Amino acid sequence: MIILLTWILAAYGMTQIIVHGSIFQSTREVIRRTAELNIPVISPLFDFIRGIVTCMMCCSTWVGFFMSLTVYSPFGVIYAAHPVFGIFFDGMLASGSVWAVNSIVEWFEENR
């Protein structure tokens, strides 16, 4: 249980840094400018990436995929599922968990 909670908090932290952190501000700006260049193949790709790095739910899905591949796979361990299913459902777990934590944090920020 502690491992799962730690995994969820790590996913939240990584997503928070990517989406709102000042350390990635210039990277997000480069992605935005590249998406607006209207280059046939590159702009749609960078527009997709821009959507990922500006949305807590979208980014956390990909963070969950990454953490499942590199750190730990909660779904794969708990249900002993095929690794592909574990990676997919870990992304969904990260997305839902990060969304829930982020909603609580935003509620407290609005009501202080």
Q: What are the pLDDT digits (tens) for 9-64?
A: 999 999 999 999 999 999 999 999 999 998 999 999 999 999 999 999 999 999 99
Q: Are 13 and 59 in contact (CB under 8 A)?
A: no
Structure-token pair, residue 81: 């599922």
Taking the mean position of all CA atoms in its chain, how far away is CA 43?
21
pLDDT of residue 82: 87
Predicted model pTM: 0.89
Q: Which of 53, 57, 51 is nearest to 28 (CA)?
A: 53
